[in-house]
Amino acid sequence: MSQPETTCLVVDDSAVIRKVARRIIEEIGYAVSEAEDGDAALELCAKAMPDFILLDWNMPNKDGYAFLQELRRTEAGRHPKVVFCTTENDVGAIARALRAGADEYIMKPFDRDILTAKLEQVGLPQRVSA
Amino acid sequence: MTELDFEFLRGYLKQRSGLALTVEKRYLVESRLGPVCRRFAAQSLHHLIATLRAPHGRDLERAVVEAMTTNETFFFRDRIPFDLFRDVVLPEVLARNAARRRLRIWCAAASTGQEPYSLAMLLQEAAPRLAGWQVDIVATDISTEVLEKAKLGLYSQFEVQRGLPVQWLLKYFTQQGDQWQIAASLRAMVEFRQLNLLQGFESLGAFDVIFCRNVLIYFDAPTKSEILARFGTSLAPGGALLLGAAETVIGLTDRLMPNPTHRGLYGHALARPPAALRAAAG
């Protein structure tokens, strides 16, 4: 019997970032879905909760912070791991994101090594050898 | 660079650092020694190597060896050795050394400091169990340049992103512009010293734990054997050696053996080490 597929949701208003993240995460060995803002991401989560979310912080409509607060209120114990992703490295912003329920933080631009390391840190080891 | 130049450089590096420069790594020479050429005003690699052939100063020797040494590292690199240290090695040492309350750790290829500082953070997390203990972390590297960076404990965003949990970034680092500096209390836990593993390291004393990861892979078999045998002498009775995932003691020394349960962990092959070792650990 095959294992249930581990799924990652990439939430970012930049199609380029989504494409780069998708490629890396699929290479690591996980299935990827995409959302361009917090509202679209919440809809996807309501249908099928992912195991991991790579979350942009600054987005139109519903931003990363608002999405994360709502996700943690409604996730009902399923607790997907959330790595928030921003162009800033301000201590206050990082601490605020952690308080809102983020598990890890990554600064843009990221590469395969960094994203792989962060996924491992939140418990998603690489499935496909590099 | 001619064939003769490359062969000379191979011999030069082997003799001075133990580095085994294979033909497959020839491509590295140009990229790494280019900046050394500029620094020492050599017109080309050929001219630089001609200078190396003649009597020359220690500055040039050090610059060439440092440039050809690989310094890639990051916090909690490979994770498993650090889990082993925290969950297996540290509890054993705490029990074994309970009477004298002393713990000595050696990072034998500390590079820019991420490995010794990772250990310092783990020890800080275990601080209640180490109350009243004298803890020494000795961190050595062949390169003075990387050691200077290590002492500062100042890292780029890229460097702290690789392997360091964000909670520990906030807990143990302060932001300095675009960089992050590790806390002074952690910097004070580590003593950085320049050391070439080919030369004697007995003066460092005996250690309960030796980390020497991803270094031996650059040496040929006789050099690996020699260094491992000397690690056997430097390791206190019952002590632990941690090597990189692609490294082993098997077939290289009979003084050390793999831990039967934990991959990557090694200890003395003798059930009871000779009196000389027990005295050295004193």
Digit-coded pLDDT (tens) for A105-119: 998 878 888 888 888
Residue A112, number of CB atoms within 10 A of its CB: 15
Please confirm, yes or no, whether B32 is among the known catalytic residues: yes
Q: Where are the beta strands (DSSP E) in B146-233?
A: 154-156, 173-176, 179-182, 190-194, 207-212
Q: Which fold would CATH assign to domain A7-111?
A: Rossmann fold (3.40.50)
The question of ipTM being above 0.85 is answered as no
The residues of chain B scoring below 70 in pLDDT are 70-72, 270-282
Q: Look at residue A130 and tell me whether its pLDDT is greater than 50.
A: no
Is the Cβ–Cβ distance between B86 and B126 less than 8 Å?
yes
Residue B222 tokens, joined: 């006789």
Is the Cβ–Cβ distance between B212 and B231 less than 8 Å?
yes
Taking the domains of chain A in order of start, what are their residue ranges? Answer: 7-111
Residue B188, number of CB atoms within 10 A of its CB: 9
For A14-62, write each residue's pLDDT tens digit: 999 999 999 999 988 899 999 999 999 999 999 999 999 999 998 988 8
Distance from CA of B162 to the nearest CA of A (A): 6
Q: Does A109 touch chain B (CB under 8 A)?
A: no
Query: How far, in Å, CA of B259 to CA of B206, rounded?
Result: 20
pLDDT value at residue A93: 86
CB contact under 8 A, B178 and A121: no
pLDDT value at residue B257: 95
| Burial zone of A56 (CB within 10 Å; 0-12 exposed, 13-18 middle, 19+ buried) | buried
Q: Does A106 touch chain B (CB under 8 A)?
A: yes
**Domains plus CATH for chain B?**
3-68 (no CATH), 80-281 (3.40.50.150)
Q: Which residue has the tokens 């690690």?
A: B231
Distance from CA of B74 to the nearest CA of A (A): 11
Residues of A in contact with B161 (CB under 8 A): 106-107, 110, 114, 117-118
According to DSSP, the residues that pair with B140 across neighbouring strands are B193
Please confirm, yes or no, whether B83 is among the known catalytic residues: no
Q: How far apart are the first and last CA of chain A?
A: 26
CB contact under 8 A, A114 and B169: no
For B73-119, write each residue's pLDDT tens digit: 788 888 899 999 999 999 999 999 999 999 999 999 999 999 999 99
Is the Cβ–Cβ distance between B85 and B213 less than 8 Å?
no
pLDDT value at residue B136: 96
pTM confidence score: 0.78
Query: How far, in Å, CA of B110 to CA of B197, rounded?
Result: 12
Q: Does A113 touch chain B (CB under 8 A)?
A: yes
Distance from CA of B274 to the nearest CA of A (A): 42
Q: Look at residue A2 and tell me whether its pLDDT is greater than 80.
A: no
Q: Which of A115, A121, A126 is best to mutate for the B interface (most B CBs within 10 A)?
A: A121
Q: Which of residues 147-166 of B touch A (CB under 8 A)?
A: 157-158, 161-163, 165-166
Please give the backbone phi and psi of residue B121, each rounded to the nearest 5 degrees, phi first.
-65, -40
Q: Name the strand (E) or helix (H) holding A110.
A: none
Distance from CA of A114 to the nearest CA of B (A): 6
Residues of A in contact with B166 (CB under 8 A): 94, 98, 104-105
Q: Name the strand (E) or helix (H) holding B90.
A: helix B90-96
Q: Which of B15, B21, B62, B18 is nearest to B226 (CA)?
A: B18
DSSP assignment letter at B2: -
